[in-house]
Amino acid sequence: MKLTKGFVTDIHSYKHNEIIHRVWRNTKIVDASDDLLITAHKKTRVFEQSGRSWLTKEPAICYFYKDLWFNVIVMFKRTGIVYYCNLSSPYIYDGEAIKYIDYDLDVKVFPNGEYIILDKNEYRYHARIMDYPNNIKKVVEDELKKLVKLIENKEPPFDKAYVLKHYKEAFEREYHKKWQDSKLIYQ
């Protein structure tokens, strides 16, 4: 089955050992092309491997790639746009859910454009105990450099106009009121 605009599905994040890490319920497809999948959700139920669940607090647009080893979650917070990037395998869709392997390293980009690389210790630990192959480690580390370059150059999806276009498409009905309420934050 091919993913098309408006279709609703789940997202499954796995670890390298094939154990499910996290599940997001009911994400909506905003756009799908051969190399990029854009989804949206808000107040979505998320289930952790531990059994804990929670609701997302703000609207989010997610960018999944067929050939890049990361995905990007763009959160529209009251304080501005925050990007949370997961170093991961390219996504697949198998008819059940959008799926990818999470390779621990994350990059958080703040509304002012500053960023931090998170979970370096978790990456080293999992690389050791799950025996990440050298070729996987090389790809993840190379993709991290590519991701940082996109962030620093403010290339899509790290361009506010680009993500606001998808926000408008995904949340059209609420867009006008929310935009008026938060226009200064997102500019």
Q: How far apart are CA 13 and CA 43, in angstroms?
A: 18
Cα atoms in the 13 Å half-sphere on the side-chain side of 82? 13
Q: Taking the model in full, what pTM does it have? A: 0.92
Which residue segments constitute the domains of the chain, with CATH numbers given? 8-178 (2.40.380.10)
C-alpha of 7 from chain center:
18
pLDDT in tens, the chain (187 residues): 789 999 999 999 999 999 999 999 999 999 999 999 999 999 999 999 999 999 999 999 999 999 999 999 999 999 999 999 999 999 999 999 999 999 999 999 999 999 999 999 999 999 999 999 999 999 999 999 999 999 999 999 999 999 999 999 999 766 545 545 555 455 5
Among this protein's residues, is 25 annotated catalytic? no
Please list, in sequence order, all residues whose beta carbon lies within 8 angstroms of the beta carbon of residue 163, skipping any fewer than 6 positions away: 61, 74, 81, 157
User: What does the DSSP 8-state code read for residue 15?
Assistant: -
- Report the alpha-carbon distance of residue 70 to residue 144 in Å, rounded: 8
* Amino acid, res. 11: I
Catalytic choice (22, 25, 45, 124): 22
> Using the 8-state DSSP alphabet, how is residue 176 labeled?
H
- The C-alpha angle 74, 80, 86, rounded to 5 degrees, equals 25
Which pLDDT belongs to residue 186? 54
